[in-house]
Structure 1
Amino acid sequence: MPTTPGTVLLSGIVGSTAYGFAHAGSDIDRLGLFAVPTEELHGLHRPAESQVTTEPDLTLHEAAKWCRLALNCNPTASELVWLPDELYETRTPLGEELIALRSTFLSAPAVRRAYLGYADQQFRKLLARDTADPAARRRAAKHARHLVRLTEQAVRLHESGLNLIRLPDPERVRELGERIAARPATAESLLAEAAERLSRPGVLPDAPDPRPAEAWLRRVRAAHYAPAA
């Protein structure tokens, strides 16, 4: 793992491997969060809040930034605390605490806004693709799979409060994605159905509870504070 400006608290394998889409040639995507030494937050220049590399494919967010993303139900960042146990590569005690708090980051409006927003982005990419380009056709199938995944994850979160990262039937999602990639307009009914179900009463609150995240972050700052001699 590349050098980070702090301590990695939680990290794991995400993306196609986590969803069940991976094949022999798939990339391995990793996501994590880290804590900087607390005294580095006291100066004029704050440390970088994210680090992204492509070899390997790794995204790391500083603890406070990750919490802000999760409180907005960012689908990519949020999945870090919902992974199957075997996909975690770093799992410190503070990381365990964060996993235990995962439901407090959720809210119905944010799930609807973030997940359907990301799904709509995938739909727009499908509509704008170059149908004559073989590489674009392959990307279209990927966009379509993620569209299906995002809508189904959103509905499951809204109705059960659970984010199932490992899809129970990835082949069905893959096949549906191929059909949508061939005829993007067929995704309109999928998006409409998801929006309708998310408009019904669900189990999520109208707003997240930031207090557990705030208390956790203060424990992180205390644990990583080493005053200068």
Structure 2
Amino acid sequence: MAAMNILLSGIVGSTAYGLAREGSDVDRLGMFAAPTEDFHGLHRPKESHVTTAPDSTLHEAAKWCRLALGGNPTVMELVWLPDDLYEVRTPLGDELIGIRASLLSAKRVRDAYLGYATQQFKRLYDRGDGSFSADTRKRTEKHARHLRRLCHQGYELYATGKLTIRVDDPQEYFEFGEEVAADAMAALPMLQQYETAFDETRSALPEQPDEAPAEAWLRRVRTHYYTEGGRS
């Protein structure tokens, strides 16, 4: 990571949400800029770098922007983190934080967050009646907490245009996880409640994201890293 042009990175996942417990992994998410001259050759530069031990995901700037404009919940967290969770902040990274609202749109946020939550519910349901190993139960509880968080954060973003990363009451999430691990169908009323809330709420977001600020920002990134002196 040290040799890359990292623009923004921080701690995400359970630590960021306030849901970490002893032994929880520390997940990191970041964005980097490939040197602009690397785009001029036959092969495009690699767009993502993922490692385990430590758990880290880095997306190239253009890929990150495309994912964010699509409403991707995971990458969106990077520009809404509390200040104390950032490990790398650069002027270009701060510029991106400054235009984060322009990346959002009502339909894409609704589809992405509810879509991810629905996928989580299907995974929970497919596991059966709760008669599984202790390790599987722990994973099930974690996925249930993930489902609840996606619903809550997605609705907040849809309704207010703002995203709060840390959850208000972590204990509620752990209790929900235990309940769903015993009976996956316990998650269905909550999922249906949020689906109704989305349907009945007028979003603070526009129908389409504004790509112009992201396009202008990305071009500034490419200009900055165009020359040899722009490498880090």
What TM-score do you get using the length of structure 2 for normalisation? Answer: 0.94
CA distance in 2, matches of 1:22, 1:62: 28
Please show how residues 61-210 of structure 1 align to structure 2 within 5 Å: 61-129=59-127, 131-200=131-200, 201-210=202-211
Aligned length: 226
SS in 2 for 1:197: helix
Deviation at 1:195, TM superposition (A): 1.2
**Secondary structure of 1:30's aligned partner:** strand
Quick check: 125-134 or 106-115, which moved more? 125-134
* Residue 212 (structure 1) aligns with: 213
After TM superposition, give the deviation of residue 192 of structure 1 in Å.
Answer: 1.2
The match for 1:12 is 10
Q: Which runs of 4+ in 1 moved over 6 A?
A: none
Q: What percent of counterpart residues are identical?
A: 57
* Residue-by-residue CA offset, 1:86-138 (whole Å, 9 max, x unaligned): 00000000000001111111111111111011111111111122632221111
Partners of 1:217 and 1:10 in 2: CA distance: 14
Aligned match for 1:58, one of 45, 56, 59? 56
Tell me the distance in 2 between the aligned counterparts of 1:195 and 1:44: 46
Any idea what the Cα deviations from partners look like across 1:37-70, whole Å, max 9, x if unmatched?
1010111100100000002100000000000000
Q: Deviations over 1:137-172 (max 9, x none)?
A: 111100100000000011111111111111111111
In 1, Cα distance between equivalents of 2:125 and 2:159: 30
Distance 2:228 2:56 in 1: 31
User: SS of 2:88's equivalent?
Assistant: strand
Partner of residue 27 from structure 2, selected from 26, 29, 32: 29
Q: Secondary structure at the match of 2:21?
A: coil
**Counterpart of 2:223 in 1: which secondary structure?**
helix
- Partner residue, 1:41: 39
Letter paired with 1:89: E
- Give 3-state SS (helix, strand or coil) of 1:32's partner: strand
Local SS of the residue matching 2:107: helix
- Residue type of the partner of 2:158? H
Assess if the C-alpha contact under 8 Å between 1:12 and 1:89 holds in 2.
yes
How far apart, in 1, do the equivalents of 2:185 and 2:118 lie? Answer: 12
For residue 3 of structure 1, report the CA deviation from its aligned partner.
5.1
Normalised TM-score (structure 1): 0.95
Aligned equivalents of 2:54, 2:47: Cα separation in 1: 19
C-alpha deviation, 1:225, in angstroms: 0.5
Deviations 1:165-188 (A, max 9, x none): 111111112212221222211211
Q: Structure 2: any 5+ residue segments left out of the alignment?
A: none
**Structure 1: 5+ residue runs without aligned partners?**
none
SS in structure 1 at match of 2:190? helix
Cα RMSD after superposing both structures: 1.4
